[in-house]
Amino acid sequence: MPIQETEKSFNHKEIEKKIQDFWKKNNIYDEVNLLRGDGPKYSFLDGPPYCSGNIHLGTAWNKVIKDTHLRYKSMEGFNVRRQAGWDMHGLPIEHKVEELLNLKNKQEIEEKIGIDNFVNQCKDFACKHKNSMTEQFKSLGVWMDWKNPYMTLDPQYMESSWWTMQKAHEKDLLVNDLRVISWCPHCETALAAAEIDYEDKEDPSIYVKFPLKGEFLTNNSLKEYFLVWTTTPWTLPANLAISVNPDFKYSFVKKDDEILILASNLLETVLGPQIKIHKSKILNDNGEEEILEEKEELYEIVETVNGEKLLNLEYDYPLIHEIPKHTDFNQKFTNVHKILPGGHVELGEGTGLVHTAPGHGPDDFEMGKKYDLPIFSPVDESGVYTSEVGKYENKFVKSVNDLIIDDLKNKDLMYKHELINHRYGVCWRCKTPIIYLATKQWFLKVTEIKKEMLNQVSKVNWVPKWAGSGRFHDWVDNAKDWTISRQRYWGIPIPIWECSNCDNIDVIGSLSELKEKSLSKIDASDYELIHRPYVDSIEIECTCGSKMNRVPDVLDVWMDSGVAPWASLYYPQEKESFDEWYPYDFITEGHDQTRGWFYSQLGSGVISLDEAPYKKVLMHGFVLDEQGKKMSKSLGNVVSPEEVIEKYGADILRFYLLWANKPWEDIKFVWDELNNVKKMFNILWNVYVFSTTYMSLDNFNPDNCNENNIVLRDEDRWIISKANTLLRDVGDALNRLYFHDATRKINQFILEDLSRWYVRLIRGRTWVESDDPDKLGAYYSLYSALISLINALSPISPHITEEIYENLVKNVSNNFNQSIHMNNWEFSEEDINPELEEKMDYLRNIIDSVARARDSAKYKLRWPVSDITIVSQDSRILDAVNDLEDIIKDQSNTKNVLTAYEFEKLSFIAKPNLKTLGPRLKGDMGLVKNYLAKADGNLIKNELDDTGKFTIGLEGKLIELSNEDILFDTELPDDMTSAEFDGGNVFVNTKITPEILSEAMSRELIRRVQDMRKDMDLDVEANIHVIIKANNEFTNLVSSKEEIIINEIRANSIALTNEEICNSNFNDNDYYIKNWKIEEYELSIFIKR
RNA sequence: AGGCUAGUGGCACAGCUUGGUUAGCGCGCACGGCUGAUAACCGUGAGGUCCUGGGUUCGAAUCCCAGCUAGCCUACCA
């Protein structure tokens, strides 16, 4: 089958559907993998998207990057592992299900519908979304192993995470510890740092007076108070001390008959200016107005001491009557209700005296441990006060803020009560403000392996470099121990069994181990067994003889995905594929994953296998809206991938995402820019249509081309060189992950090299009938350039390239792959000719400037000129002109091309330089001026160039002029126009000779006939009969060119006449008739098929 | 508050590593041209405090410091 003529416009919807059906029907993805099965391995690990709903542009970009790189790698010959992954456990899904089932809290989950049911609902939810998201990714043309993805709810996968926990235990990196951690009172679970979002939020900001017990100042009898600032009044019931920085200065300030103690540096911030100036106008003795200033001292600094002096002072706990427990504390612990030294105290905000509640803040907790304060955290899992806080019992902590504020006001212990707007941590999913509680949790001791983690970070190849050396390094460097236990249901159960009798724990590493150790017979499936609630019921025996029960927690979901490197390969249950694919050559995710997946894999990797599981990481950016703001539902600026695919198609979206910016920077999503990309695709399609139009007409088959039947011109060798350079450069860019370089080079090639230049150069040759070797040379080169182009573009935009491949290759060649994506990434180093490419660059500049010159003289390109002269001092440019003279002749429509280092026909006009001569010559100035105006500038210039001076004899005086004294204007001869280009000038001879006029008129005529052919909607190859009616002058001008005209307009016959047409065979209705005016000539053209 | 990254005509980007003529390209805008790829193309023009302020240098969009804005990340704002 020959090459087929193509649809005139690019219909992305139709093509993409057709191609995706083709892939599906013929299992092309599997075929490609089969083809590369013996190739060298390239292992890639997909960062698992969370199955909570729809994909967005960010996830689309993520997958497009992966797909493009991996398609390239496959074409390079690699056997690529590209299993898709899904993150399916965790709180976000629990929340969605809670919402769906209208459940308010954990109690309702456990009692209303039961854990069993709840977990099943979560599973259904996750699977449903996994499926719909898979379809969305497929619609982008993303090729991954969608049939066998890794899923974090898969029992075999989960076993691998148990194995990692066991490894951690073996290395003594697993601890159960009482610590203050961030807690979500809605989800009733611990949260890791990675699960906290920050939002602006309004909170109370109160300054509380803590009465000093006894007195510090001896010289007065006023009551003294420590002034303490807090934004969380609800933590005051757990206040056990006040921290000060011993190095700071603290002042005792007298105000309103009491003494306040606070940091000296913060006096003005907290208390306001010390002095108020009252101004009043009075009349003085002279009757003039005068301003009288009176100073009022608003407070008085009575004493200033070092913080050290305050240490160990005691205060009366303000809520002692409300909370009796504090009396106990005060009696049992020496440091309770005292001033203690704390390095964490700063002067940025507050008063320099810090409320310290060891149960409600990590720093406070450290203080508590250091000074032997009780870790008092009288709040339960749902954020409700326990009975330990007397009056406030059974109330949700945040709701007590106002009550406490009132109580303090009633005791006159509130100095100031305001509101503050600040960033506050909230639960990443339910957005409930977090609270800090002291609880026992399980931790991985990351701080102990941090050094090795940093060592591993430095071994990884990061793109860009700073992602690893800066951002990720800093994050790991600051890492705290990782809280991995969650008091939830839908997740990987923590495989730790605790003895009810002794302290012993057992960490189970696999299902078989559990089955072996279980005291009861297990009849559940692996899936059931490894999930809650079934696994909760399994008891095993302790070495002490007692029963061990599982810790009821589940694992942090970040641990789920963190073990993906080996869990997706079911290691250590299965070892073979692990040996084949681990560690991974490449991963890529957005920069938010610094704290997420990059980190969780590194941590669990060092624990399990003593190394980072990835060798190369691309950290990519985010997709922002047009203004550069984050896309969010609340701002209403979210653009969905479906919307873009609907309007522009997946290929254009893919190209755009890889084109808009560097992959590691953020993309501003601008609709208008998609139009740009669309335009490029239209032009590509146009070139394709142009090619198929002629190639199908001539039944062109590239397989039949050989040295004997085709001739290649310079421009043919040039486009072939360019196309091979393109393949080389794009391949290099895709390999280095510089996708923007690849797309920009392709864009340049399509627009500049192929469409605007090469097609323009060969237009005339395609119009030739018969199997002319010169025409076939153009076809062959155009074909070859197109094939290189679609190969280079295929990893980026896989549909349109497949479509073109179907027609241009599969329809004609005997030797083809079933899909373009099975092709090898091949180019010919031999065909790359940098010298020729450089010469063509010069040529384009020159030809553009000829067009400019003609334009400025209003001399149409359609009219030939007898000669143009290229002037340059650069011999490379002149060589290029001489070598590629024919192209200039053709494109500039000139009979001759001349070259020169200097343009001799240029005449010079000498002018006096008034600046130098004026002062010197004074009155003689006029004489010189007149002389120069009449003189031959060229002679003067020659003289100056030769001798450096020019002497004039005037009225008996000799005046010597030097180079600076004379300025030259240049003047073009008549019938000459010029323009500059980068490296020289062109001079165009516009003199019209009879021969030129004859040609010009012929071409004008041809243009009109072509225009009419198009009006008539004739086929390109259709022949016509033409009659031209014009005056004798015109017919004389064109008659000598009759043969050329006939050929150009595909006429069977042409008749030139100056008379009315009135013979009997003539019928007006047979003809399409149009009247024209060309310059001063009026004519009528008659055309019939 | 700290870290990383970015800031270049109305819009989107290049140039910055290695300082050096007149800061480039595309879109948009204005004007003109072309017309067998034509919903395409070509030419000309207007439009720039290269985020701001300092510094280094003969010379800074480029190097250094400080600040502002945006994105991401982090933080014990008690």
| A109 CA to B58 C1' distance (Å) | 77
pLDDT computed for residue A1000 by the predictor: 87
* Residue A891 within a domain: yes
Which residue is the nearest neighbor of B1, CA to C1'?
A348
Residue A285: exposure state from Cβ atoms within 10 A (0-12, 13-18, ≥19): exposed
Q: What is the DSSP letter of A546?
A: S
pLDDT in tens, A118-173: 999 999 999 999 999 999 999 999 999 999 999 999 999 999 999 999 999 999 99
CATH of the domain at A593: 3.40.50.620
pLDDT in tens, A491-542: 999 999 999 888 899 999 999 999 999 999 888 899 999 999 999 999 999 9
Model confidence band, residue A828 (pLDDT cutoffs 50, 70, 90): very high
- Quote the CA–CA distance of A244 and A341 in Å, as a whole number: 5
* Residues 371-430 (A) near nucleic chain B, CB < 7 A: 422-425
Contact (Cβ atoms closer than 8 angstroms) between residue A435 and residue A378: no
Shortest CA to C1' contact from A688: nucleotide: B37
Token pair, residue A521, equals 């017979």
Are A772 and A890 within one domain?
Answer: no
* Residue A732 within a domain: yes
> Of A24-28, A385-389, A859-863, A1045-1049, which has the strongest mean pLDDT?
A24-28
Average pLDDT rounded to a whole number, residues A396-404: 88
Say yes or no to pLDDT of A917 above 70.
no
pLDDT in tens, A650-673: 999 999 999 998 999 999 998 888
Strand partners, A87: A50
A671 CB neighbours strand B below 7 A: no
Contact (Cβ atoms closer than 8 angstroms) between residue A243 and residue A344: yes
CB atoms within 10 A of CB A273: 10
Which residue is the nearest neighbor of B26, CA to C1'?
A676
pLDDT in tens, A748-768: 999 889 988 898 888 888 877
- Closest-CA residue to A367 (of A342, A333, A331): A342
What average pLDDT is seen over chain A?
87
* Residue A514 within a domain: no
A466 CB neighbours strand B below 7 A: yes
* Residue A948 within a domain: yes
Model confidence band, residue A370 (pLDDT cutoffs 50, 70, 90): confident
Cα dist from A902 to A151, A644, A645, A976, whole Å: 75, 56, 57, 15
* Residues 90-109 (A) near nucleic chain B, CB < 7 A: none
pLDDT computed for residue A928 by the predictor: 67
Are A747 and A611 within one domain?
Answer: no
Are A981 and A1045 within one domain?
Answer: no
Determine what percent of chain A is predicted with pLDDT higher than 90.
38
Average pLDDT rounded to a whole number, residues A193-213: 80
A982 CB neighbours strand B below 7 A: no
| A681 CA to B63 C1' distance (Å) | 41
Identify the residue with better confidence: A913 or A52. Answer: A52
A595 CB neighbours strand B below 7 A: yes
Shortest CA to C1' contact from A858: nucleotide: B33
| A676 CA to B10 C1' distance (Å) | 17
Per the structure, the complete domain to which residue A358 belongs is given by 194-268+301-436
- Closest-CA residue to A717 (of A685, A756, A762): A762
Contact (Cβ atoms closer than 8 angstroms) between residue A39 and residue A79: yes
| A205 CA to B77 C1' distance (Å) | 11
CATH of the domain at A845: 3.30.2320.20
| A740 CA to B58 C1' distance (Å) | 38
Are A474 and A410 within one domain?
Answer: no
| A748 CA to B45 C1' distance (Å) | 25
Which residue is the nearest neighbor of B74, CA to C1'?
A475
* Residue A965 within a domain: yes
Q: At what angle do helices A28-35 and A12-25 cross, to 10 degrees?
A: 60
- Quote the CA–CA distance of A754 and A713 in Å, as a whole number: 16
Which residue is the nearest neighbor of B41, CA to C1'?
A756
> Of A451-465, A696-710, A820-834, A908-922, which has the strongest mean pLDDT?
A820-834
Cα dist from A63 to A59, A247, A514, whole Å: 6, 54, 38
* Residue A94 within a domain: yes
Structure-token match 């003795």, residue found: A285
CATH of the domain at A921: 3.30.720.200
| Secondary structure (H, E, C), A878-932 | HHHHHHCHHHHHHHHCEEEEEEECCCCCCEEEEEECHHHHHHHHHHHHHHHHHHH
A593 CB neighbours strand B below 7 A: no
List CB contacts of A384: < 8 A, sequence separation 6 or more.
A394, A395, A396, A397
Average pLDDT rounded to a whole number, residues A865-880: 88
pLDDT computed for residue A1065 by the predictor: 66
Shortest CA to C1' contact from A628: nucleotide: B70
pLDDT computed for residue A965 by the predictor: 66
Cα dist from A737 to A72, A73, A82, A384, A792, whole Å: 11, 11, 17, 52, 15
| A358 CA to B75 C1' distance (Å) | 18
Shortest CA to C1' contact from A355: nucleotide: B78
Range with lowest mean pLDDT among A645-654, A670-679, A899-908: A899-908
Which residue is the nearest neighbor of B44, CA to C1'?
A852
pLDDT computed for residue A1017 by the predictor: 78
Say yes or no to pLDDT of A394 above 70.
yes
A357 CB neighbours strand B below 7 A: yes
Average pLDDT rounded to a whole number, residues A933-948: 72
Phi-psi region of A904 (alpha: psi -120 to 50; beta: other; left: phi over 0): alpha
Average pLDDT rounded to a whole number, residues A311-336: 89
A245 CB neighbours strand B below 7 A: no
Are A232 and A373 within one domain?
Answer: yes
| A492 CA to B56 C1' distance (Å) | 59
Out of A795, A810, A825, pick the residue that ends a domain: A810
Token pair, residue A614, equals 């990835």
Average pLDDT rounded to a whole number, residues A547-576: 94
Say yes or no to pLDDT of A189 above 70.
yes
User: What ipTM goes with this model?
Assistant: 0.89
A1013 CB neighbours strand B below 7 A: yes
pLDDT computed for residue A34 by the predictor: 96
Shortest CA to C1' contact from A357: nucleotide: B78
| A662 CA to B8 C1' distance (Å) | 16
* Residues 251-290 (A) near nucleic chain B, CB < 7 A: none
pLDDT computed for residue A84 by the predictor: 96
Domain tally, chain A: 6
pLDDT in tens, A472-502: 888 888 888 888 988 889 999 999 999 988 8
| A479 CA to B2 C1' distance (Å) | 15
A346 CB neighbours strand B below 7 A: yes
- Quote the CA–CA distance of A799 and A684 in Å, as a whole number: 13
pLDDT in tens, A579-595: 999 999 999 999 888 88
* Residues 744-773 (A) near nucleic chain B, CB < 7 A: 751, 755-756, 759-760, 763, 766-767
Q: Calculate the CA dihedral of residues A830, A835, A836, A838 and round it to 10 degrees.
A: 130
| A956 CA to B29 C1' distance (Å) | 63
A662 CB neighbours strand B below 7 A: yes
| A775 CA to B37 C1' distance (Å) | 17
Contact (Cβ atoms closer than 8 angstroms) between residue A140 and residue A650: yes
Say yes or no to pLDDT of A922 above 80.
no
| A174 CA to B26 C1' distance (Å) | 57
CATH of the domain at A751: 1.10.730.10
Are A796 and A845 within one domain?
Answer: no
Q: Which bases on strand B have an atom closer than 7 Å to a protein beta carbon? A: 1, 3-6, 11-14, 26-27, 32-44, 70-78
pLDDT computed for residue A927 by the predictor: 67
- Quote the CA–CA distance of A276 and A293 in Å, as a whole number: 10
Say yes or no to pLDDT of A414 above 80.
yes
Shortest CA to C1' contact from A689: nucleotide: B37
pLDDT in tens, A238-266: 999 998 888 888 889 988 889 999 888 78
Average pLDDT rounded to a whole number, residues A1013-1017: 80
Phi and psi at residue A297, to the nearest 5°? -90, 120
Say yes or no to pLDDT of A1078 above 70.
yes
A782 CB neighbours strand B below 7 A: no
Are A783 and A737 within one domain?
Answer: yes
Cα dist from A15 to A736, A763, A791, whole Å: 30, 28, 17
Are A600 and A649 within one domain?
Answer: no
Average pLDDT rounded to a whole number, residues A220-228: 88
A188 CB neighbours strand B below 7 A: no
A660 CB neighbours strand B below 7 A: yes
| A590 CA to B76 C1' distance (Å) | 28
Are A414 and A452 within one domain?
Answer: no
Helix, strand, coil percent values for chain A (each to nearest 5): 45, 25, 30
Model confidence band, residue A29 (pLDDT cutoffs 50, 70, 90): very high
Say yes or no to pLDDT of A88 above 80.
yes
Model confidence band, residue A365 (pLDDT cutoffs 50, 70, 90): confident
| A254 CA to B39 C1' distance (Å) | 82
| A544 CA to B75 C1' distance (Å) | 45
pLDDT computed for residue A913 by the predictor: 65
* Residue A366 within a domain: yes
A475 CB neighbours strand B below 7 A: yes
pLDDT computed for residue A1063 by the predictor: 65
* Residues 313-342 (A) near nucleic chain B, CB < 7 A: none
- Closest-CA residue to A359 (of A346, A338, A373): A373
- Quote the CA–CA distance of A127 and A175 in Å, as a whole number: 34
Are A901 and A911 within one domain?
Answer: no
Model confidence band, residue A1084 (pLDDT cutoffs 50, 70, 90): confident
A861 CB neighbours strand B below 7 A: yes
* Residue A818 within a domain: no
A665 CB neighbours strand B below 7 A: yes
A690 CB neighbours strand B below 7 A: yes
Are A230 and A245 within one domain?
Answer: yes
- Quote the CA–CA distance of A239 and A358 in Å, as a whole number: 8
pLDDT computed for residue A75 by the predictor: 97
| A57 CA to B37 C1' distance (Å) | 34
Are A1007 and A911 within one domain?
Answer: no
Model confidence band, residue A938 (pLDDT cutoffs 50, 70, 90): confident
Element (H, E) at A271: helix A267-271
